[in-house]
Structures are given as C-alpha cells and as structure tokens.
A and B are shown apart, each in its own frame.
Chain A
Amino acid sequence: MRRGIRIFLIFAVLAALIAVAAFLNLKPGKLQVAPGAVETDPTTQTITRGEYLARAGDCIACHTEPGGKQFAGGRVMAIPFGSIYVPNVTPDDETGIGRWTSDDFYRMMHSGISKDGSLMYPVMPFAAYTKVTREDSDAIYAYMMSLPPVSQKNQPHELRFPFNQRELLIGWRALYLKTGEYVPDKSKSAQWNRGAYLVEGLGHCAMCHTAINRLGGSKTSQEFEGGMIPNQNWYAPSLTSNREAGLGNWTIKEITDLLQAGVSHRATVYGPMAEVVYNSLQYLSDADVEAMAVYLKELPQRDSEAPPTQSARLVAPEVMELGRKTYATQCVMCHGDEGKGRPPEYPPLAANQSITMSSPVNSIRMVLNGGYAPGTRRNPKPHGMPPFSHILNDEEVAAVVTYIRVAWENSGTPVTAAQVGELRPIVPE
C-alpha cells in the first residue's frame, strides 16, 4: 500500500513538472525581435503605405520636372486650352504644401478644391482621386509631409480666355464631376473590388482611356472606351473592346505581365503607358496588379463600332507589295515572316489588337519614332525598336503599316500617306 502511494506521488510530481514546463512553453510572452530588425511604429507604417499609394497614383510623373527635384513641380503640361504649370507639392512652407493639414489634403483629393478655396483645373485627376478613402488620403498626406521640402515657386498657368477664368470650372464640375469615395460592389469578390478601387481611383486610368470632349470632360457612359490623348498625339485604346485593348481574351498573367513588367506575350507598352508602368505600376504588389487585372478583364465588352467591312479593308495591290517588301527588308529580323514576333522581347504583330484597332496612330508613330519598353524591376533591360522616319518616306510607312494591319488575317484597314504626313512632324514624347 505504501509502495502504491509512493508510485502515485512520483507520478503526481512528474505530471506537475510537465504541466509547469508546458505552461512556460505555451504562454504567449513577448515576440522575439529578430536581430537587426527595426521595430516599426505606426508613423513609419503609415508613411511607407502612403509612399506605396502615391506610387499607385503616379503623382511623381506630373509633379516632377524631367531631371528636376522630386515633387517640386514646374513641369509644363500642354493642354488644348494652353499650358498648365504643375505645382510644387513638397512640404515647403512658402512654395509647397507645408502648411496644408490632412483635412486640406483630403478636400483637394476628394473634390478638387485647393487649400485657399480655389477650384482646381481637372488636369489634376481629382475626378478619379475622389474615390480614394480618407485613410489612404491621410497615408499619402503623411508620406508627402515626410519628403524634403524644396523651395521652388509655382508659375502661373498660361491659359487662353475664357479658360483662364476659374469660375467657369463650376460649370465643368456640374457636368463632369461626381464626388464620393469608392463604394464596394457587394456582388463582386474582394479582389475585384480592390482592382476597381485602384483602376478607378488612384490609377486614374480613365483620364486617358476615355475620350475627352471639347470641354475637357469625359462621359461616364463612354468610360474606358478609348480616345486620343490631347496634345500627346497617342491613342489610348479602348479597354472595353476586344478589337482594341479589351482584355477579355487575355489571361490574367498576360495582363499582369504587361502592367508590371511592361512586356507580355500579347503586347508591349510604349509612349505614355510606358511612363505609367515605369513610374507607377512596376512598384505595385503582385496582389494589387492581379486585382487590377481581374477587374479590367471583367469590364463589360462594348464595341462602339462595327468591325470594318470587306470593302473598307481592300488594299491596292501595289501598296500591299510595297508594304511587303518594306517589311521583308526592315521588320522581319525582329517580328518574323509571319508577324509572330519573339514575345515578350519583340511583340507579335499578327493578332495584336493594338495593330488592328481602328486608329492607326500608335502603329504609325512606332514606325516613325521607334520606342523602348520601360526598364522595370521585372524587365530591367528591355529590347527596343529603332526609328524609321529618316529611312522610310510617307508612302513606305503607310504601306508597311497597311501591310501589318491586313497581313496574317489581321482585321485592320489601310492607312494613307497623308495620315503619316500628319504625324511625321510631331516631336516624339
């Protein structure tokens, strides 16, 4: 009996020891700080998030002069009504936004009203930034305030009468501005909603991909249906038409490659879109770019015009022959006999929507001026296309662009030498 008690006691002590060990082991205690890791405080986290969001909004592209100090403004933007001098948005007290509060900043983002109460010209994409949440606006504000202040006075805009009368903006706002933060669509996934928030808000994609009318406004009914970018003379293709840059037939990977790397197996970005990828999209997380891709792919398909008729696609035999010969001499090395290219380094021309879409402007400009895809984190050493403006005359450019628009069962229409002549004198940018 005594022996039984002894054995019981030994077991009890052992069990107690195990319980104590388990308790010490299981209680949460303090997180181990990895050696060398810096503890982040809420401010650091907010500023870092604000920097990321400012990237998503591509603020730097307009608010920095080429080769100038970051965010110090001064860049001149030609618009159909004159010239806008982009303001200094560094936190300099006298010449920048150093005295702005986060409330001032949110009102500007949300409704296009400056700190002093003046109405802003819609060159600033507040019609899109209005969708940005207060929390995100505050993070961007915190980031902007953390930047080194640069003392650089803003220049007054040079706009023609009557566009220099800011009071007229009341009318523009009544017609084209609908303020309000993004409201998630409950019938869609969280991923789709994140994509919509980024594309419609900070990404301000509609600024270029929706046609701008003579008052500088965009109709929401034509959202993402494409249009010429004023004064840059590039055509921003429709994102809703599979005949243009509609992404209905693309895989998600092809879309994310194009947005993040600047090249994909379907197409490559040049011109203004290269700028967007270079300054903004390459920095976005995989999750965010994929969300944008999901949203873009699901945009409703609205072909605003019928496909070209057989007769509209007729090409004079001698034009086709000149185009074929020019292609065989100048283009075949990179784009191949069958126009298949060597994607992603050299984009395909066959079955490439940006070649066959109704506006031939981008194809003509690429032949005249060439172009390099942007150097990005995922594609730091892009291949490039040389200019041909000094080698090919208007007839030859028109013929070779016609050829790539109709060869290999491409469904485009011929272009004329006059169309090339109009684009030739434009200074490339």
Chain B
Amino acid sequence: MTARALFIVICALAGAGAASAQDAAIPAFKTLDSMEARVQGCATCHGQSGQGTGKEYFPRIAGKPAGYLYNQLIAFRDAKRVYPPMNYLMAYLPDAYLREMAEHFSKQRPAFKPKQPPAADAAVVARGTTIALSGDPSKQVPACVTCHGSNLTGMEPGIPGLVGLSSSYITAQLTRWRTGNRQAAQPDCMKRIAERLSEADVHAVASWLASQDAPANASPGSSNLQKMPMACGSQM
C-alpha cells in the first residue's frame, strides 16, 4: 500500500469515527411510548444510550448504578448540584419519573468511547497510578479502586463508575468537591477525600483514570462484597 493510499484509508477511518460520534448525539428511538424515546432529551449531550458525546465534558452515564444516577437527578432538580443546563431540564420532573430515567440508563451497555492518552509526564502518570491503585496513606487518601471497583465500574447502589469519563470531567467534579460546590449525602466521603487532594493530585488521577481500558464487564460491583474504608452516605 502506498503512503498516499494509507493516508486516504486513515482519513476515511477518522471520518467514520467522527460520523458515528456525531450520530450518537442525534436523537433516535424506535417506539414513541418508551423510556428510550422519553430520554432523547438527554441525547445531544449524553448520547442516545448514555454513552457520552464529544471529546470533552459530557459524561458517560450508561451503566452507572441507578441509585447514583437517581441521587444526581434529584440533586439537579432541587439545585443541590449546580449545573444550569441540567437544573433547567430537570426542574419540573417528579421523583418517580427520575427514578425510571435512572434505572433506564443504569441498564444501558453501549460501547465505550476511545480512552484518552496518558499524561505526557512520567511523574504525573506515576502519581495518578499510585492514588488510583494504592491511595496515599500520608494524606489518608484511600485508593480509588477500593470503592469504585478494581475495573472502575463503581459499586451498587450509589458509587459511580469512573471508566469512560474524560479527564476534564473528572477534574471538574473533584475540584467542585474540593471547593464545596458539589456534595453528596452525609457523611460525604467523597468530600473528605477530595479535600485531601492537591490540584496536582486531581490532575494526575483524572488523567490516569481517563486513560484506562474499557472493562469487558461494565456492570457495577455488588455492595456486599467488601467493607469500605470510610462511611459514605450514598451507600447507607
């Protein structure tokens, strides 16, 4: 194959990739009277099946535990978690419907977006690996995998999967926790952990998490397999 032909093939593949990413953001459904049709209000940001869209911010919500998703939808509706586009969309929806939306997305298993490349700096990669897999006992920071699962798919009922999220999204969320902008049910374990992380720690762990492979089984772990190092309100 000539270099030119190779170039054309690469361009075609890149084009196909771009087209499918774009398609995920266009509302589509089979039956009008279905949850699939009802949640197309989420499609342009989170994708038709909750896979997330775009390179950057909008998070994957598919396969996260229903309890976690429900807590977030309620928090957005009641403006306890502040993100105006979501606060606006959820404002006038009743609990029972938000529960159904959460359950719908928790059952979706769309393909993962391509993982992001690891940080360029080897020291940053090392720091991220340490925090995620071993934690930092000197700061009393437990390893991410202790609660979010060894394959980062979260834990029933309230701990979200972290795999498939972009580093910009993870960085923004940890930063909001550090500054008190984002909260969870008391006792808020994630707040305690985020406050112990430096800005550099947040950057390192976010870029490490975003560069991980998608797991074969994307389902969250069961809640009764292990004790957690900290009490978390959303697991009670």
Enumerate A361-396 residues with CB–CB distance to B below 8 Å. Answer: 369-375, 380-391
How many chain B residues touch A (CB < 8 A): the figure is 33
Give complex CA distance A278, B29 in Å.
27
Which of A278, A345, A372 has most B Cβ within 10 Å? A372
The interface size bin for chain A is 20 to 34
Q: Provide the B33-62 mask, 1 if CB < 8 A to any CB of A, else 0.
A: 100011111111100000000100000000
A109 in the interface (beta carbon within 8 A): no
B93 in the interface (beta carbon within 8 A): yes
B25 in the interface (beta carbon within 8 A): yes
B38, A382: Cβ atoms under 8 Å? Answer: yes
B85, A369: Cβ atoms under 8 Å? Answer: yes
From known contacts A374-B92, A380-B96, infer whether A345 and B37 are also in contact, taking CB-CB under 8 Å: yes
* Other-chain residue from A275, A342, A372, A384 in contact with B32 (beta carbon distance below 8 A): A342
Enumerate A275-303 residues with CB–CB distance to B below 8 Å. Answer: 275, 277-278
A372, B92: Cβ atoms under 8 Å? Answer: yes
Q: Provide the B5-44 mask, 1 if CB < 8 A to any CB of A, else 0.
A: 0000000000000000000011111001100011111111
B94, A380: Cβ atoms under 8 Å? Answer: yes
A381, B88: Cβ atoms under 8 Å? Answer: no
A386, B90: Cβ atoms under 8 Å? Answer: no
When C-beta atoms are compared, the residue in chain A nearest to B33 turns out to be A345
A372, B85: Cβ atoms under 8 Å? Answer: no
A428, B84: Cβ atoms under 8 Å? Answer: yes
Contacts of A369 in B (CB 8 A): 85, 88-89
From known contacts A333-B27, A342-B32, A390-B54, infer whether A375 and B93 are also in contact, taking CB-CB under 8 Å: yes
When C-beta atoms are compared, the residue in chain B nearest to A67 turns out to be B78
When C-beta atoms are compared, the residue in chain A nearest to B75 turns out to be A67
When C-beta atoms are compared, the residue in chain B nearest to A330 turns out to be B26
For residue A154, give the distance in angstroms from its CB to the closest CB of chain B.
Answer: 20
Give complex CA distance A317, B11 in Å.
32
Give complex CA distance A429, B39 in Å.
20
Enumerate A399-429 residues with CB–CB distance to B below 8 Å. Answer: 427-429
Interfacial residues, chain A to chain B (CB-CB below 8 A):
66-67, 274-275, 277-278, 329-330, 333-334, 342, 345, 369-375, 380-391, 427-429
